[in-house]
Structure 1
Amino acid sequence: MKKLAAFCLLLLALQGKAQTNAQLDPKILTSKKVMDQFMDLRFGLFIHWGPVSLRGTEIGWSRHSKVPAAEYDTLYRQFNPVKFNAEEWVKTASDAGMKYLTITAKHHDGFCLWPSAYTDYNITATPFKKDVVGLLAKACKKYHIKFCIYYSVLDWHHPDYPIDNPDDTTAKGIRKDARMDQYVVYMKNQLKELVTGYDPYMLWFDGPWEKPWTPEMAVDVYTYLKTLKKDLIINNRLGKAFSGTGASGTSTFLGDFDTPEQRIGDLDMNTPWETCMTICEQWAWKPDDKMKSLQTCIQTLAKVAGGNGNLLFNVGPRSDGAIEPAQVARLKEMGDWLRKYGAAIYNTHGGPYNPNSKYAATRSGNKVYVHVFDQSQPTIELPAMPGVKVNKAYLLKGAAVKLTTAADRFTITLPAVLPDANDTVVVLETDKPALSVAPIK
């Protein structure tokens, strides 16, 4: 088994561009074992929430635009989410088959969902007063969900952060008396509160693109965090080369995993990645927001896993603290599907085929799981896997299917009625480890 594992790891190293963290001391990087365990989870819940839910506009970004800053910055005085129940939120994640949860402890608007000692702009200043972060951390332990925290690098509210309005480059949008060095101290103090107070599994940073934040600050904060918790997982958005810039595999990449946003990442067998995506259209709660269909939700998860990534799927609870019942129901439907077909998602690797509109593929051991999306075709053709023989083919949780092989392809004959209209999983059992096959385009 050890030789087989080493062989598979070598193949993975050869199949993709190497992730780099050239600015960091290799000794402080999160271990491969911890990152492999994180990637095995495959599915998590993202939650964007705060006083802005009183207006139904986007968190952070609507300050100065749809909501005047003077009004936005005082919404906390009315924020009293009496229906907030941390256990209900976490149970929603558990019922959906999610394995981790990430809460926006501080977004770009600077409001803190925990009782920070370093600012009065926090949950204790609201009529609600309860520690949202602490209650969620406790509930996650009960339901065996990994607890993670989102924290924004930028802060348009804080007096020491130079930018007040990102859309106004005149003197009005800049704080002339701000001190970025003091703001970094503030950040470190708050991050220490979060790490030592709530022991998060992962920190999810955002907002590194503005000029006041420098690459040197990013390296400093990553290094500092590793003095607090050695194997704390940290995403790539501390660094300036965040997702969408082609940063993965370059010398400017900093962090433990990449984070494509509102899109499915490319098949990557080397750099860990996680797609963050909304279940509706807006990150924070919006009245009558359009929700994705169950088919889109399930196929998105399958395509993400097929690309060797995780899916962090977002909901925005209402101002009363409840998640929209329709969103809870949709997530439960995803969980129902996972209870049947989770073997094709959890603890798998992506590939060897690139996900597309007709199918995706995941693999584990000597099995390739083909996720069939197109219900209209009687057969599905796949390129052959070089050097690998398919011994048998069958439906996951079902009967055998006919497999015809040629030198360059496999043809799977599908049943007249597929067992799942959203994603029918066909299992191909191979004579060699499925992971030994290089990605096939």
Structure 2
Amino acid sequence: MKKIITLCLLLWAAAGHAQTNAQLDPKILTTKAVMDQFMSLRFGMFIHWGPVSLRGTEIGWSRHVQVPVADYDTLYRAFNPAKFNADEWVKTASEAGMKYLTITAKHHDGFCLWPSAYTNYNIMATPFKKDVVGLLAKACKKYHIKFCIYYSVLDWHHPDYPIDNPNDTVNGIRKNAHMEKYVAYMKNQLKELIKNYDPYMLWFDGPWEKPWTPEMALDMYAYLKTQKKDIIINNRLGKAFSGTGADGTPHFLGDYDTPEQRIGDLNMHTPWETCMTICEQWAWKPNDKMKSLTTCIHTLAKVAGGNGNLLFNVGPRPDGLMEPEQVARLKEMGSWLRQYGTAIYNTHGGPWYPNQHFAATRSGNKIYVHVLEAPGQTLSLPALPDVKITKAYIMKGAAVAIQQSAQNITLTLPATLPDTNDTVIVLETDKPSISIAPIKI
């Protein structure tokens, strides 16, 4: 399904229908200073959660598929996550070293995790009757985590949204829907979310269906900026997302790119954020396969090495608890970050493009080489034009032997790497490391 969606997006963009920020008044765009702060955070928690956790199937997408619509749309009546504790969720994010948190306030299924005044299909109609969004926003303030909100453009449940079932082009269409009314509903809800919870960022999704037009997307971005000037908005209001060209030029509407379930390429011009699951499914799934600690840390290092952020997803259980194994894995990542976080936070990617053996980040007159998979007793890197390395050592450890030539830099690695997941070697340079243009290997 996702491959079909991607193909449709590419065809739409090729036909000249994609929107870009160039079509907006530049005065309303999010400032570089705000985006630089966002990109310095590097690591955030994504949470996909709702009544669908009662079935253990994918949020939104399993409606009409694994779960009949009559069942899916009434799951909220039994949704009572009595063990939900916003403080525990946010504390887990904090202990993982995450700096922001994004909650699916409304996914494609239309269910709202806050007491919206504009629909009864919300958390107050459940036996739980607690404002999940509000409780998370409050907990984020307590733990100094930036609070962000996911909101789906499409809504397969709402009577004024024309599509009920995206898999059925005949019977899955609502003939009496009014898209204009639905857009007004969106604006009302988004105003409500901004006013009541003051999110740092809005993470949109689901712009690919035909009822949502390029004009609506442009209008919505401009409208949101009247509600909060410096709110950060991802690139999924417009039809083309993950649309950064090889020249680094963004071909989308929004403040940053969002490659999904893959690591973005090194890009020093366009901000980007990889969204990825800690397991395989976005929403909770019984016995879902979880990524190893090595994979998790390699992913974070390669994302930072590409100059991006990592939005790492967990799907809590229907009782409101996060899986203990996932919590333990996140805390392991936090332990690594407490040791090596200087090489992740407040850095830039590069100068070398990441590969299977290493990634690199940089700050000031330092380059941090993340050794992910030792290729042998030495690690060979392309030389840095007009820049000399004055010192090399393992972060918080011993010196590293280094040889420099016009073509290569050769680092002699310890017989046993201090950290088998990611050993960080610090290279001190005689010039600011950010001055080095990206180097492909």
Q: Does the pair score TM above 0.5?
A: yes
For 1:331 and 1:244, locate their aligned partners in 2 and report how far apart those are by CA, in whole Å.
30
In the TM superposition, what are the counterparts of 1:163-182 in structure 2 within 5 Å? 163-170=163-170, 172-182=171-181
For 1:246 and 1:370, locate their aligned partners in 2 and report how far apart those are by CA, in whole Å.
27
**Per-residue Cα deviation, 1:33-81 (whole angstroms, up to 9, x for no partner):** 0100000000000000000000000000000000001100000000000
Instruction: Flag the 1:398–1:252 CA change in 2: closer, same or farther, 3 A.
Output: closer
State the match for 2:432 in structure 1.
433
For 1:215 and 1:351, locate their aligned partners in 2 and report how far apart those are by CA, in whole Å.
35
Contact 1:22 1:251 in 2 (8 A): no
State the match for 2:88 in structure 1.
88
Contact 2:249 2:269 in 1 (8 A): no
**Per-residue Cα deviation, 1:241-284 (whole angstroms, up to 9, x for no partner):** 11268599567511000000000000000000000000000000
In the TM superposition, what are the counterparts of 1:55-204 in structure 2 within 5 Å? 55-170=55-170, 172-204=171-203
For 2:400 and 2:198, locate their aligned partners in 1 and report how far apart those are by CA, in whole Å.
48
Q: Alpha carbon RMSD of aligned pairs, Å?
A: 1.3
Letter of the structure 2 residue corresponding to residue 309 of structure 1:
G
**Per-residue Cα deviation, 1:225-255 (whole angstroms, up to 9, x for no partner):** 1011100000000011112685995675110
Instruction: Flag the 1:135–1:186 CA change in 2: closer, same or farther, 3 A.
Output: same
State the match for 1:12 in structure 2.
none
Letter of the structure 1 residue corresponding to residue 427 of structure 2:
L
For 1:299 and 1:250, locate their aligned partners in 2 and report how far apart those are by CA, in whole Å.
27
State the match for 2:21 in structure 1.
21
Letter of the structure 2 residue corresponding to residue 29 of structure 1:
L
Instruction: Flag the 1:216–1:252 CA change in 2: closer, same or farther, 3 A.
Output: farther
State the match for 2:46 in structure 1.
46
List structure 1 segments (4+ residues) > 2 angstroms apart after TM superposition.
244-252
State the match for 1:320 in structure 2.
319
Tell me how far 1:375 sits from its aligned partner: 3.3
Instruction: Flag the 1:128–1:219 CA change in 2: closer, same or farther, 3 A.
Output: same
**Per-residue Cα deviation, 1:104-142 (whole angstroms, up to 9, x for no partner):** 000000000000000000000000000000000000000
Q: Is 1:333–2:332 an aligned residue pair?
A: yes
Q: Is 1:410–2:409 an aligned residue pair?
A: yes
Letter of the structure 2 residue corresponding to residue 266 of structure 1:
D
For 1:248 and 1:22, locate their aligned partners in 2 and report how far apart those are by CA, in whole Å.
16
Contact 2:243 2:257 in 1 (8 A): no
For 1:191 and 1:53, locate their aligned partners in 2 and report how far apart those are by CA, in whole Å.
25
Instruction: Give the secondary-structure state (helix, strand or coil) at the position aligned to 2:439.
Output: coil
Contact 2:83 2:320 in 1 (8 A): yes
Contact 2:80 2:126 in 1 (8 A): yes
Contact 1:403 1:411 in 2 (8 A): yes
**Per-residue Cα deviation, 1:348-391 (whole angstroms, up to 9, x for no partner):** 00001001100000000000000001135111000001010000
Q: Is 1:359–2:358 an aligned residue pair?
A: yes
State the match for 1:3 in structure 2.
none
Letter of the structure 2 residue corresponding to residue 49 of structure 1:
W
Give the % identical residues: 81
Letter of the structure 2 residue corresponding to residue 262 of structure 1:
Q
* Structure 1: gaps of 5 or more residues: 1-18
Letter of the structure 2 residue corresponding to residue 377 of structure 1:
G
State the match for 1:15 in structure 2.
none
State the match for 1:391 in structure 2.
390
For 2:130 and 2:78, locate their aligned partners in 1 and report how far apart those are by CA, in whole Å.
14
Tell me how far 1:199 sits from its aligned partner: 0.1
Instruction: Give the secondary-structure state (helix, strand or coil) at the position aligned to 2:34.
Output: helix
For 1:243 and 1:207, locate their aligned partners in 2 and report how far apart those are by CA, in whole Å.
13
For 1:302 and 1:315, locate their aligned partners in 2 and report how far apart those are by CA, in whole Å.
19
For 1:315 and 1:361, locate their aligned partners in 2 and report how far apart those are by CA, in whole Å.
27
Question: How many residues matched?
Answer: 422
**Per-residue Cα deviation, 1:163-183 (whole angstroms, up to 9, x for no partner):** 00011111x110000000000
Letter of the structure 2 residue corresponding to residue 372 of structure 1:
V
For 2:145 and 2:274, locate their aligned partners in 1 and report how far apart those are by CA, in whole Å.
19
Letter of the structure 2 residue corresponding to residue 382 of structure 1:
L
Tell me how far 1:437 sits from its aligned partner: 0.4
State the match for 2:226 in structure 1.
227
**Per-residue Cα deviation, 1:298-350 (whole angstroms, up to 9, x for no partner):** 00000000000000000000000000000000000000000000000000000
For 1:379 and 1:129, locate their aligned partners in 2 and report how far apart those are by CA, in whole Å.
59
* Structure 2: gaps of 5 or more residues: 1-18
Letter of the structure 2 residue corresponding to residue 28 of structure 1:
I
State the match for 2:8 in structure 1.
none
Tell me how far 1:407 sits from its aligned partner: 1.0
Instruction: Give the secondary-structure state (helix, strand or coil) at the position aligned to 1:332.
Output: helix
Letter of the structure 2 residue corresponding to residue 289 of structure 1:
D
Which range moves more in the overlay, 74-83 or 375-384?
Answer: 375-384
For 2:23 and 2:105, locate their aligned partners in 1 and report how far apart those are by CA, in whole Å.
27
State the match for 2:4 in structure 1.
none
Instruction: Give the secondary-structure state (helix, strand or coil) at the position aligned to 2:359.
Output: strand
TM-score, normalised with respect to structure 2: 0.94
Contact 2:249 2:270 in 1 (8 A): no
For 1:433 and 1:108, locate their aligned partners in 2 and report how far apart those are by CA, in whole Å.
46
Q: Is 1:305–2:304 an aligned residue pair?
A: yes
For 1:346 and 1:140, locate their aligned partners in 2 and report how far apart those are by CA, in whole Å.
19
Letter of the structure 2 residue corresponding to residue 237 of structure 1:
R
Instruction: Flag the 1:245–1:341 CA change in 2: closer, same or farther, 3 A.
Output: closer
Instruction: Flag the 1:288–1:269 CA change in 2: closer, same or farther, 3 A.
Output: same
Contact 2:304 2:348 in 1 (8 A): yes
Instruction: Flag the 1:253–1:147 CA change in 2: closer, same or farther, 3 A.
Output: same
For 1:245 and 1:406, locate their aligned partners in 2 and report how far apart those are by CA, in whole Å.
35
Instruction: Give the secondary-structure state (helix, strand or coil) at the position aligned to 1:192.
Output: helix
Contact 1:45 1:315 in 2 (8 A): yes
